[in-house]
Structure formats: C-alpha cells, structure tokens
Chain A
C-alpha cells in the first residue's frame, strides 16, 4: 500500500522527465552547444592553448584576409564542393537504378557497393595512397596499356582530384541506398505511360525518374556539399599532414586542425577559421534549398 502510494507520488514529480533528458542535454550542452558558443567568442580573442587570451575585436578576421594559406584552404574546399557534389548527386542515382531490379544476386551487389562506406576513411585513404602510388596498381596498369606512369600524389592538382575521387568512391554506396528508397516510391504507371508513348530509356530517366526523385537529389546535394566543404581526412591522408607540395592542397578544416591544436595552438585564430566554416556550411545549405524552391515555382 505504501509502495503504490509512493509510486503515485513519484509519477507526479516534475523532476522525472528531466531525469530522462538530463544525460543527453548535459552532453550536448557541454560538448556541442558550449563549444559552439566558445568558438564564436574565441574568434574575437588571441587565445592560445596555454595562454588565456584577450579580446582583440576583428583582428583575427582581418588577419584572415591577408593570410595566403586561408585563401588556399578556402579555394581547395570550394573546389572540392564543385568537383564532388555533381558526381555524388548523379552517379549514385545511376547506381541505384542499376541495383533496383530484383535480379538474382542483387543483394550481394548492393552490399558489395556499400562496403567502402563501412570502412574507416583512414583505411580507404591508405588503400588509395598505395593504389595511386608512383609504383602502385593504377600506374602499373597504365604502363601496361602504354599510357605511362602518372604522378597522382606528387602534383598539386592531381592530388586534389585524386582525393575527390576517393571521396566519391567512398560515398557512392551511401547515397545509392538513399536513392534506392526514393526510387521505390516512383509510381510504376508513370514509367508505363511513358513507355507506351514511345519514350526510350534515357528519355524516361529524364522525364519520369529525375522529376520523381528531385527532392532526394536536393537532399543528396545538400548533404554532400556540406560534407565536401568540410573535407579533412582524404586530403590529409593523400597529401600528408602539411597538405601536399608547399601546402597547396591544404583544405580549410586541415588549416583549422593545424593552427588550433597542440601546445602552441592559436585557438583564437583557428576559431575565426571555424566561424568561416560555419558560415559557408549554412550558406551552402540555404543555397541548395533555395535552388530547390526556385525550381518549384
């Protein structure tokens, strides 16, 4: 009797729901929301890892404008978006169409195409470092067919292109699964009607499939452009910690990591760089979503 009495009281205690939410709220407050605010605040200071730092106004941002490395990083991260996103919007869709039909063995193919997603980016990066090595498999094959060897990992631009290829290779399977779900919702009547009207495969793809999965394409565009702008690991692994020849392959996030960590890290300046990462990320999202709305009108 006393037991049921206390349980009824406890049920009415207002603290109980907060008890459920507390661990989660505590973690995101301490390790996501607070660091976010502190990044913005630090960007106006000259804080270093071991030195508390003073308010310096916009000095960090003014320094950014004259920092060649910043412009290199911004250029490379932007090029990354331009290079990777179109491929990641289109190729996985084609791949999804390829694995859509339930022909024998298709489950195996779907899983196999997803395997690069499961592997760590470090594993993937090191696999491709070896594949694209001066004496690696790709160059052996190129030499065998008479093209000759290519210095994929020694030229500034080839390095960046190689890293983009790795990003696309690793992302294909992920976006393929997203498209596969969307394709399942395309009404079959549309395809049949188009086929009756004499539309070939390419025409049906452009007039039926693409409009039907357009919102998914926008989603993939948004997800992949944000991810591409924040690229770190692929370039770090292929070009090395210093970012390739003369650091010319450094991306913005690599610059954040290089500037802000370690015992002599310039936390304030790295925070200003991070703020740029935030702003561009949000801008990219808005841009993609606005492009979507324009097509609607």
Chain B
C-alpha cells in the first residue's frame, strides 16, 4: 500500500498542475480511482433519493392514454401534459387546501419566532424568581412525546370549541419548547457586556431586547422560522385528528383524502403530491444552509 503510494508520488505534481487540484477536507489530494468510485456511489444514492420524486413527477405528467404500468417502465412522459393538475383542482379544492396550509404555516412561523424569542430572552438574560422553574418547564415540555398526548390535546381543543378550526391546528405547537430553548442558547452565547453597557446607558429591557440582542441572533431565528414553516406544512397526525370538515383541510390531509378516495387514479394522486411538495423543495433550494444548521442545533438539544 505505502509502496504503491511512493512509486506514484513523483507523477502527481505535473498532473496536479494541469487539472484543478481535488482535495479532501484536510487539503490532501484524492486519488483518481477513489474519486471515480465516489462519484459512482454518489450517483447511485442520488438515483435512490431523487429518483422516486422524479418518477412521481413523470407519472403526474403522463396523459390518460399513456400506459403508466408498462414493463419495462417508460421513465419520460411521451406527451407531457398538465391535464392531471387541472383534474386535481376539479376533484378536491386543492388551492383552498394549499391556502389553508399556507395560513397554518405562516401563523406557526410568526407565533414561534415571537414567542420563542421573548421566552428565550427571559430565560437567558432576565433575572427573576422562578427562572429555573420556567427553564425546567420548557425542558420537560420538550421531552413529552407529542404522539402520547394527542388524545388529551384533542379533548382540550373540544373543550375550547376549537376543534375543526385552523386555529386548533396551529395552537398546540404555536410556541415550541425546543424553539424556546434554541433561542435561549443563542442569547446565552452573546457577550453580555454590550447589553450591560446599554443597561448602564439607561436602555430599558425592550430596547435591549429589540435593538441589541435580537439582531445578533438572526441566524437562529431564521432556523426557528424555517423549521416552524416546514413542521406545519408537513404535519399529518395532528391535523388528521383535529380537522373533520373537508372544507378546512390542509394540503396533507387533503392528499390523504384524495388517496383514500381515488387510490386507483395514480396520475391524479401524483399531481397532488407534486403540488404539495414543490413549495418546500423550492424553499429548501433557496435556504439550504439554515435547514442544515437547524439539524445541528436541534440534534444537540434533542
């Protein structure tokens, strides 16, 4: 192994001069065969992860006369058409459902950002009796598995008269305990001196919060916003339980209904799923680094 490397070593510098130098994360050169193997594996995994989405897209674009069950399969639609998307809108009020999802997701973003920033600041910076108890309450709330309390959440919503409303969909997760703790950590990581100086200069707590602390944690706030949006847009179990009136459905519940009622119409269901997933993929494409950052921060806490 090491002998091989030594004999090959002399011819490396000239090649490196011709090609762009490809190095690993430590700045060392990557061998060609290893590189080729890596790309082969990467492409194989790519086919596995993205392939199913593309197959769904392809199915949704195939017209009523095209065979979608052929063997061997035809991957590209012979005569692409948007006909199935129009049919989805004729079958279920898909744009109303999309609007409901958008309302729920937007409300979830606003309440989580405002609520988590305020509470996180209170836990990190403000001094008062009971701060430790308040922190503990959020930690406990984070540890409670949602699936274990949905029945009680459902009865609570009934008692409040909010089941079968979009407000009822938003309320239970509208200020997530984990988001509060994320914001708390972000505030704790800020140097305290600046706020102390502002305090000495007579800035009150709102001024310190809004003008000094909040602008410094914009990154974490963006993470909270994105995960709140994604969480609400993708959520299934809770809206399934709380919504029973088809006119109030969100997109995921509408899709489930579409699948349950028109399971044999694969083109129709495919078009519906593409409508539901496209906005999030677009959002992800634009804001990738916050998505990745959120995984890191969430995992450390979780």
Contacts and interface: CB of A to CB of B under 8 A. Distances in A.
Interface of A: 4, 7-8, 10-11, 14, 16-18, 20-21, 23-25, 27-36, 38-39, 42, 47, 49, 95, 98-104, 106, 109-116, 118-123, 126-131, 133, 135-137, 139-141, 143-144, 169, 172-174, 177-178, 181, 184, 188, 196, 198, 200, 219, 223, 226, 230, 232-233, 237, 241, 253, 256-257, 260-261, 265, 267, 270-271, 274-275, 277-278, 281
7 contacts: A24-B115, A33-B144, A95-B45, A101-B30, A127-B53, A128-B52, A278-B145
Contacts of A136: 69
Interface stretch (B9-17, B76-84, B88-96, B276-284): B276-284
A21 B241 contact: no
B140 interface: yes
Nearest to A269: B151
- Size band of the interface chain B makes with A: 35 or more
B38 A103 contact: yes
A35 B126 CA distance: 29
A231 B119 CA distance: 31
Given A135-B69, A226-B145, A260 B154 contact: yes
Name which of A24, A237, A278 has the most chain B CB atoms within 10 A of its CB: A24
Nearest to A4: B202
A177 B23 CA distance: 21
Contacts of B33: none
Contacts of A100: 24-25
Contacts of A31: 153, 156, 171-173
B279 to A, nearest CB: 10
B151 A121 contact: no
Contacts of A139: 71
Interface string B137-156: 11011001101111111111
A32 B139 CA distance: 11
Interface of B: 1-2, 20, 22-26, 30, 35, 38-39, 41-42, 45-46, 48-50, 52-53, 55-56, 59, 69-73, 114-116, 118-119, 121-123, 126-129, 131, 134, 137-138, 140-141, 144-145, 147-156, 158, 171-175, 177, 180, 202, 204-205, 209, 230, 233-237, 240-241, 251-252, 255-256, 259-260, 266, 269-270, 272-273, 276-277, 280-281, 283-285, 288, 291-292, 295-296, 299, 302
Contacts of A35: 149, 152-153, 156
A24 B49 contact: no
B252 to A, nearest CB: 4
Contacts, number: 288
B302 A102 contact: no
B234 A120 contact: yes
Contact of A102 (B23, B49, B269): B23
Nearest to A189: B26
What 6 pairs across the A-B complex have the smallest Cβ distances?
A: A24-B119, A35-B152, A120-B234, A20-B122, A17-B126, A260-B151
A18 B130 CA distance: 9
Nearest to B171: A31
A265 B128 contact: no
Contacts of B285: 111
Given A11-B205, A31-B171, A141-B72, A25 B25 contact: no
B117 to A, nearest CB: 9
A99 B45 CA distance: 11
Contacts of A143: 71
Given A36-B144, A39-B151, A99-B42, A122 B73 contact: no
B295 A112 contact: no
Contact of B295 (A121, A178, A267, A278): A178
Which of A4, A17, A232 is the most central at the interface, judged by chain B CB atoms within 10 Å of its CB? A17
Given A23-B115, A101-B25, A260-B154, A119 B131 contact: no
